[in-house]
Structure 1
Amino acid sequence: MIIDRAPEALTGRDDGDGPEHNRWFKQLLTVDDFTPENLKSLDAVLVGFASDEGVRRNKGRQGAQKAPAALRAALANFALTPNQGERKTADVGDVVTAGNELEAAQSRLADTVATIIDAGALAMVFGGGHEVAFGTYSGIAQSSARAQQRVGILNLDAHFDLRSADQPSSGTPFRQALEQEAAAGTELSYAVVGISQPSNTQILFDTADHFDVRYLLDEQSQTENLGDVQRFVQDFIDSVDVLYLTVDLDVLPAAVAPGVSAPAAFGVPLPVILSCVRQAATSGKLIAADIAELNPSFDIDGRTARSAARIAHTVLTQHRKINHD
Structure 2
Amino acid sequence: MPLAPADPRRAWTGRHDGDGPEHARWHEVVRPAEQAPAGPGLPHVGVLGFESDEGVRRNQGRIGAADGPEALRRALAPLALHGALARGEAAIRDHGDAVTCGEDLEAGQDQAAVLITRALDAEGARLVVVLGGGHETAWASYRGLRASRRCGEDTRWGVLNLDAHFDLRREDRATSGTPFAQMAEAEAQAGRALRYGVLGIAEPSNTPALFTTARELGVTWMTDVECAEGGAPAIASFVANFAADLDVLYLTIDLDVLPAAVAPGVSAPAGLGVAAPLVATAVRAAAATGALALVDVVELCPPLDVDARTARTGARLVDEAVRGVMAR
Band of TM-score, shorter chain: over 0.9
The equivalent residue for 1:260 is 266
1:92 to 90, 95, 111: 95
Alpha-carbon RMSD across the aligned residues, in angstroms, is 2.0
Partners in 1 of 2:40 and 2:111 — Cα distance?
17
Deviation at 1:76, TM superposition (A): 0.6
Task: Please tell me whether the aligned partners of residues 85 and 91 of structure 2 are also in contact (alpha carbons under 8 angstroms).
Answer: no
Deviation at 1:165, TM superposition (A): 0.5
Answer with 46-55 or 13-22: which moved more. Answer: 13-22
Cα 1:42–1:100 change in 2 (3 A) is farther
The equivalent residue for 2:65 is 64
Partners in 2 of 1:18 and 1:177 — Cα distance?
44
Deviation at 1:233, TM superposition (A): 0.9
Question: What SS is found at the alignment partner of 1:49?
Answer: strand
Answer with 312-321 or 254-263: which moved more. Answer: 312-321
Deviation at 1:282, TM superposition (A): 2.4
Cα 1:39–1:243 change in 2 (3 A) is farther
Task: Please tell me whether the aligned partners of residues 159 and 196 of structure 2 are also in contact (alpha carbons under 8 angstroms).
Answer: yes
Alignment of 1:1-325 (within 5 A): 7-8=9-10, 10-32=12-34, 37=38, 41-85=42-86, 86-119=89-122, 120-121=124-125, 122-147=127-152, 148-222=154-228, 224-320=230-326
Question: What SS is found at the alignment partner of 1:155?
Answer: strand
Task: Please tell me whether the aligned partners of residues 7 and 32 of structure 1 are also in contact (alpha carbons under 8 angstroms).
Answer: no
Deviation at 1:190, TM superposition (A): 0.2
Identity %: 47
Cα offsets for 1:168-214 (capped at 9, x unmatched): 01000011001100111124300000000000001000010010000
Partners in 1 of 2:323 and 2:251 — Cα distance?
15
Cα 1:257–1:99 change in 2 (3 A) is same
Partners in 2 of 1:163 and 1:46 — Cα distance?
29
Partners in 2 of 1:5 and 1:183 — Cα distance?
39
Task: Please tell me whether the aligned partners of residues 284 and 320 of structure 1 are also in contact (alpha carbons under 8 angstroms).
Answer: no
Deviation at 1:137, TM superposition (A): 0.6
Deviation at 1:82, TM superposition (A): 4.5
Deviation at 1:114, TM superposition (A): 1.4
Cα 1:221–1:286 change in 2 (3 A) is same
Partners in 2 of 1:16 and 1:83 — Cα distance?
18
TM-score normalised according to structure 1 size: 0.93
Task: Please tell me whether the aligned partners of residues 22 and 79 of structure 1 are also in contact (alpha carbons under 8 angstroms).
Answer: yes
Answer with 54-63 or 13-22: which moved more. Answer: 13-22
Deviation at 1:276, TM superposition (A): 0.8
Partners in 1 of 2:284 and 2:135 — Cα distance?
21
TM-score normalised according to structure 2 size: 0.92
Partners in 2 of 1:9 and 1:162 — Cα distance?
34
Letter in 1 for 2:56: V
Cα 1:256–1:279 change in 2 (3 A) is same
Cα offsets for 1:247-298 (capped at 9, x unmatched): 0000000010000000001000111111110111122111111000000011
